[in-house]
Amino acid sequence: ITAASLGRLLKARGLRVAAQKLDPYINIDPGTLNPYEHGECYVTADGQETDLDLGHYERFTGIRTTRDNSVTTGRIYSSVIERERRGDYLGKTVQVVPHITDEIKRRIQLKATKEDLDFVITEIGGTIGDIESQPFLEAIRQLRWELGSSQALNIHLTYVPFIAAAGELKTKPTQTSVKQLQGLGIQPDVLVLRTEHVLGDDVRRKVAHFCNVDVEAVIQSQDLPSIYEVPVNMERQGLDAICLKKMGIEPGAEPDLGEWLGFLEKRKNASSVLTIGLVGKYGLQDAYKSITESLAHAGTFHDCKVKAVFINSEEIDRNNVHDRLEGMDGIVICPGFGQRGIEGKIISAEYARTNDIPAFGICLGMQMMVIEFARNVLGYHDADSVEMNPGTTHNVIDLMEGQKTVTMKGGTMRLGEYACSLVPGSRVWEAYGRVDSIMERHRHRYEFNNLFSREFEGKGMSLVGKNPESDLVEIVEIPSLRWYVGTQFHPEYSSTVLKPHPLFMDFIKACIEYGNS
């Protein structure tokens, strides 16, 4: 959030900015990681599975990220080993220093060499004491020395705990963290102190004194009602101006935060609360981070606060579905993979359909809508996805043709941005502003089976969005209902603070109308 906020402020000054995340874990990407480990897997337009922090970068800055914005230890070592196998190192011994650190430095500077940028904000994940972080820290030590203070700046984020029993804020963790950094040859230029309580000037002076940092460069980042208030708090303390001055740049006029402040004002003054049920199997808020944020963005622009309520699909059955979903103004059938919690999603889709509650199915959620419709409207009682039941005689969701020879799991799905042609006059066509073609991001292996298209269309489920090249069904809707839409793609990846996604905007509008009916 600190990196995203700084990016927002620099962009508000008219500067060209990119933000990237370096993750020290050995996985090539987060694509095969359990959401309980790292939250949701975010996907860039060019098809890279990344850490969820890239979603924050995009939502805060409005700048689209690419595969160059996400780097892991796995990608670093894979690249170096591949070169070694080709003989690029001419028989030399391949070592962490200089080969791994050189590759890290190359990746850090890659965005700047490819694009015309003023700043690249590089966030290194983990903490200073992590063993796996050491090559990254050594790389930035070298890079800061090579580029000089006018071209590189170190910002260190630390936590200042509050000991309730003593009523004290403790700065020792910060002092220790900085000393460890200094022992590695890295001197922070700016400190950002995460805190639950406002820090007094005496605390900031103490930290500055012990850490060799200017007092004005000790920034506090206390808990706020919303993460979207962080850029304003950072600007109030002059974080962006301090960074520019330390790099020999005259800050000039204050950043233009007019639109951002307008968004915060709308959010603060929202007059009503909308309750949206998220039906999924991951009981962790970060597992559906982009969805909850997209709902919140759209809610703000509709003058309401969205209360997202997680509903565990594993615990839903026909006997309790009414109790679990009662009182919801709308329902999101969440994405995911695997058998666990599937029947609860199908039952929830049926409940939303038969009770005409606004419902939004995303990726696997759309597939559950399709399966439910096939079972209960078309009468195909064994209808299923071959992912869950390879032996089903009504495989309304099937493995994509291009996936049938794939055996590796990582990075092999249909990933990234693809075109979708919309049916004129459909609900989604209206929501998108009556455009005939859109581009959206994907992450899936299975698809709607077009062999059943005529049956679905004949019984009232319209196939209103298709990929123009593959004819893959991207969007389904039931036009006779208030709002019942499923998308194979992930619209939440494209929603930003100042430009909420049109489907979320239309969904929230329908939820408000339903709640008022």
Q: d(Cα 139, Cα 136) in Å, to the nearest integer?
A: 5
Q: Which of 363, 444, 447, 477 is catalytic?
A: 363
Residue type, 462: S
Q: How far apart are the first and last CA of the chain?
A: 38
Q: Kindly report whether the peptide bond that precedes residue 98 is cis, defined as omega within 30 degrees of 0.
A: yes
Helical pair 502-516 and 289-301, crossing angle rounded to 10 deg: 70
At which residue do the structure tokens 């070298």 appear? 142
- Which letter does DSSP use for residue 290 in this model? H
Angle at 503 between CA 290 and CA 344, to 5 degrees: 65
The CA–CA distances, whole Å, from 421 to 428, 429, 438, 473, 475 equal: 11, 9, 7, 10, 10
Contacts of 136 (CB under 8 A, 6+ apart): 22, 24, 104, 124
Q: Which of 387, 492, 501, 511 is catalytic?
A: 492
Strand-strand pairing, 462-466 and 473-477: antiparallel
Q: Which residues pair with 121 in a beta bridge?
A: 19
Contacts of 7 (CB under 8 A, 6+ apart): 17, 18, 19, 57, 60, 61, 63, 121
Active site residue 401: no
Mark out the alpha helices in 239-341 (DSSP H runs).
Answer: 239-246, 258-269, 289-301, 321-325
| Residue (of 376, 135, 139, 144) closest to 246 by Cα position | 144
Active site residue 363: yes
Contacts of 356 (CB under 8 A, 6+ apart): 481, 482
The region, left, alpha or beta by phi > 0 then psi within -120 to 50, assigned to residue 182 is alpha
Q: Which of 38, 56, 394, 490 is catalytic?
A: 490
Strand-strand pairing, 330-333 and 304-312: unpaired
Based on the number of CB atoms within 10 Å of its own CB, is 473 exposed (0-12), middle (13-18) or buried (19 or more)?
buried
Active site residue 41: no
Q: How many residues does the chain have?
A: 517
Contacts of 124 (CB under 8 A, 6+ apart): 22, 24, 133, 136, 137, 140
3-state secondary structure of 207: helix
Provide the sign of the torsion angle of the four alpha carbons 499, 502, 504, 509, taken in this order. Answer: positive
Residues annotated as part of the active site: 363, 490, 492
